A = this chain, B = another copy of it.
Amino acid sequence: MHRMRQEVARARSEGGAVDPVGGGTGQPLALFTDLYELTMLEAYFRHAMTGQAVFSLFVRRLPAARNFLLACGLEPVLDFLETLRFSAEDLDYLRSLEKFGPDFLDWLRDFSFTGDVFAVPEGTPVFADEPILEIAAPIAEAQYVETFVINQMHLGTLLASKAARVVAAAGAKPVVDFGARRIHGTDAALKAARAFHIAGVAATSDVLAGKRYGLPVTGTMAHSFIQAHSSESAALASFAEVFPETVLLVDTYDTLQGVRKVVELAARLGDDFRVSAVRLDSGDLGELAVGARQILDAAGLTSVGIFASGGLDETAIAGLLAAGAPIDGFGVGTKMGVSADAPDLDIAYKLCEYAGVGRLKLSPGKPVLPGRKQLFRVSEGEADVGDFISRADEQLPGRALLEQVMRDGARTGAAPSLDRSRARAAEEIARLPQAVRALAPATPPYPVGISDELARYRDEITEAATR
């Protein structure tokens, strides 16, 4: 059984869905965890605490500039859970710390994830306090995976949520992910491209993300190419000779002069001129786009588009388009890639049930809703109007959003394609109230309530905890 699971893991790795696996004798990220997960595991082990636990993942508060979050990161989490095994090298390392008993380390040798997972599909809008993912498993298993689960759900949801705003601001104009160079590290850059695709971004510049996730990749030329030539005209001609339908970068020395050099190139090439667009990457993009459009149109190059990049985010894009800037597409890098205006979410993964009894915390500002839960989204016609969080077995009006995605440590079905998740995101976002889809803070925010039964259960558990 273990062997089989490893084979599956290796097959998946070759297919590109998970991080590349080294020796095949364990998950290379199995030790991606906080040390306290392991000390707690040993304490559970010593005291034979093997009861079923439920942990719930949710965001406590939305950043001020987010009316909704777009859930993302589930599939990397499921890949991790399905393949979680410690290698001999991992166990050797843990032994070297001289913190853990040998019988506990022996027990870790056979450790794997055998639990159930319930989650909203990737591409689902979610709000504060709503359960995004719940794990029901023997407490050691549900506890151990906390760090990785939060890390990947945080990353995916943070970046998909930011990208959804950028895509909304750009309207019908395509947005391209230029973030790889300043997104925090390689894992985040790759997962960002994946999250951005789900959120509606048209393509990524990151070749490895294209390879790993089958995403459209795009890109043309940098300033260095221009600079390496004796003149800008020579550089533009040289590049267009190799890639006739390219986008030419025009701002290395003087943007509008650069556009005029493209016009000269068109005149020289005649019918062989097939350049698709010019790219502006600095300066006042709105003003330069107007100037570039005039120059191109005056030369009859009406089919040459204008692509803009350079420090863009949703606010800048909305401003450019509102001012009527004739821009046909946007390259967006750092500000989307690090979610610069809100680079983290107040996300938590909290024990809410153990051995059949609801659990909570009373720490100020950090409430937990006890027990396994369900999330219902209520519609009026084509529009969603509000959500209710309920106990897991309740039936309320509206669509139930949490689905069982893993049973006894195995996926309940194939992962949806990224295009399916992208379509879901577009459909679900379109159903949100207009004010919630807008960039400005929605007043009032999207309503999220708690079912009477869940409220009663919470009060009961709170009373028991404070008794």
On A, residues with C-beta under 8 Å from B are 13, 19-22, 28-29, 31-40, 42-44, 46-47, 49, 51, 53, 55, 90, 93-94, 97, 99, 139, 143, 146-148, 150-152, 154-155, 158, 178, 180-191, 205-208, 210-211, 217-225, 227-228, 238-239, 241-243, 246, 251-254, 281-283, 334-335, 338-340, 343-345, 347, 350-351, 354, 359-366, 465-466
A218 to B46, CA, bound (A): 20
With A29-B208, A53-B228 as contacts: A251 and B363 at CB distance below 8 Å = yes
Nearest chain B CB to A363's CB is how many angstroms away? 4
List 5 A–B pairs whose Cβ atoms lie within 8 Å, in order of A's numbering: A34-B205, A39-B242, A53-B224, A182-B347, A228-B351
| A283 and B364 contacting across the interface, CB-CB below 8 Å | yes
A46 to B220, CA, bound (A): 15
A55 to B355, CA, bound (A): 60
| B182 and A154 contacting across the interface, CB-CB below 8 Å | yes
What chain B residues lie within 8 Å of A33 (beta carbons)?
180, 206-208
Nearest chain B CB to A462's CB is how many angstroms away? 10
Q: Among the listed B38, B182, B363, which residue makes an inter-chain contact with A151, where contact means beta carbons less than 8 Å apart?
A: B182
A33 to B219, CA, bound (A): 11
A180 to B218, CA, bound (A): 32
Q: Among the listed B20, B184, B206, B281, which residue makes an inter-chain contact with A188, where contact means beta carbons less than 8 Å apart?
A: B184
Kindly report how many copies of this chain are found in the complex they form together: 2
A302 to B241, CA, bound (A): 77
A224 to B144, CA, bound (A): 11
What chain B residues lie within 8 Å of A43 (beta carbons)?
221, 225, 238-239, 242-243
| A181 and B151 contacting across the interface, CB-CB below 8 Å | yes
Nearest chain B CB to A213's CB is how many angstroms away? 12
Q: Among the listed B44, B190, B219, which residue makes an inter-chain contact with A36, where contact means beta carbons less than 8 Å apart?
A: B219
| B185 and A228 contacting across the interface, CB-CB below 8 Å | no
What chain B residues lie within 8 Å of A36 (beta carbons)?
205, 219-222
Q: Among the listed B187, B228, B363, which residue makes an inter-chain contact with A359, where contact means beta carbons less than 8 Å apart?
A: B228
By beta carbon, the residue of chain B nearest A40 is: B225
| A344 and B340 contacting across the interface, CB-CB below 8 Å | yes
A359 to B227, CA, bound (A): 6
By beta carbon, the residue of chain B nearest A45 is: B242
A360 to B181, CA, bound (A): 21
What chain B residues lie within 8 Å of A218 (beta carbons)?
35
| A191 and B180 contacting across the interface, CB-CB below 8 Å | no
What chain B residues lie within 8 Å of A363 (beta carbons)?
223, 251-253, 281-283
| B182 and A361 contacting across the interface, CB-CB below 8 Å | no
What chain B residues lie within 8 Å of A359 (beta carbons)?
227-228
| B211 and A366 contacting across the interface, CB-CB below 8 Å | no
Q: Among the listed B151, B239, B343, B361, which residue makes an inter-chain contact with A180, where contact means beta carbons less than 8 Å apart?
A: B151
Q: Among the listed B211, B242, B338, which residue makes an inter-chain contact with A93, where contact means beta carbons less than 8 Å apart?
A: B211
Q: Among the listed B39, B139, B465, which residue makes an inter-chain contact with A253, where contact means beta carbons less than 8 Å apart?
A: B465
| A146 and B361 contacting across the interface, CB-CB below 8 Å | no
Instruction: Pick from A29, A178, A224 the residue with the most CB of B within 10 Å.
Output: A224
| A35 and B207 contacting across the interface, CB-CB below 8 Å | yes
What chain B residues lie within 8 Å of A224 (beta carbons)?
40, 53, 55, 143, 146, 350-351
